[in-house]
Amino acid sequence: MMRNMKLAAVASFAVVASSGCATKGYVNRSVNTAAEQERMARIAGDSSSARDIAGVRTDVATLRTNLESLRSDLTALRTEFGARITAMEDQVKFDMPVHFGFDDAMVRDQDHAALERFAKVAQKYYPGAKITVEGFADPAGTPRYNLQLSKRRADAVRDYLVQQGLNDGLLASIGYGESRQVRPGAAKDAPGAELNRRVVFVVEASDVGSVTAMAAQNP
């Protein structure tokens, strides 16, 4: 009887000890699994951050390259054609050396190169932007007639830009007559009168002004 009781006690202790070992092993496995999951999550997070940083560096490099390219083309417009470029927040104004004969609205052959270069710059750097061609006249004639003449000049230049591949739906034209004269009072064959018979391009879109201003800055 006593022997059987001892055997039962030993058996009970063995069961309890075995159960304790099993519980301890389960806890250890659970801790190890959680630690491994945390380590894998940290590695994944580090990899994601590294990809994000690499992406930002690529974007910055691309932006720098684009700005250098735009700076080069804007410089060419200034030096080769004498263009005056003014950048504002949401628009860029190109005062191009495109002029007209007295009482004439035809695009001159000598202005084709400047217009073609502008069209290439607009296509490359301002796709999707609205471009308005503003026409002007010298003060000879009546204000009403000059307003009509300046509109015909703007229309002629607009049509030429469409021929160069610019989007017809994004091009507008407007005439301002004899307003905003470059040489006040100069008309017909007077010195500087040709400067009053001109067109100006206004490119309008979000951030085009700020991007162009960045490109216009010294490297």
Query: In which band, very low, low, confident or very high, does the pLDDT at 33 lie, cut at 50, 70 and 90?
Result: confident
Tokens of 8: 């039962």
pTM of the predicted model as reported, rounded to 2 decimal places: 0.70
Instruction: Using CA atoms of 180, 184, 185, 189 in order, give the dihedral in degrees to the nearest 10.
Output: -100
- Span 177-210, pLDDT tens digits: 999 999 999 999 999 999 999 999 999 987 788 7
Euclidean distance between CA atoms 180 and 139, whole angstroms: 10
In DSSP notation, 160-208 reads HHHHTT--GGGEEEEE-TT-S-SSTT--TTSTTHHHHSEEEEEEE-TTH
| Low-confidence winner among 1-5, 46-50, 69-73, 192-196 (lowest mean pLDDT) | 1-5
The overall average pLDDT reported for the chain is 82
Helix, strand, or coil here: 137? coil
Query: In which band, very low, low, confident or very high, does the pLDDT at 5 lie, cut at 50, 70 and 90?
Result: very low
In DSSP notation, 9-63 reads HHHHHHHHHHHHHHHHHHHHHHHHHHHHHHHHHHHHHHHHHHHHHHHHHHHHHHH
Has residue 152 got a pLDDT over 70? yes
Euclidean distance between CA atoms 147 and 145, whole angstroms: 5
Torsion sign over Cα 156, 159, 164, 166: positive
128 DSSP 8-state letter: T
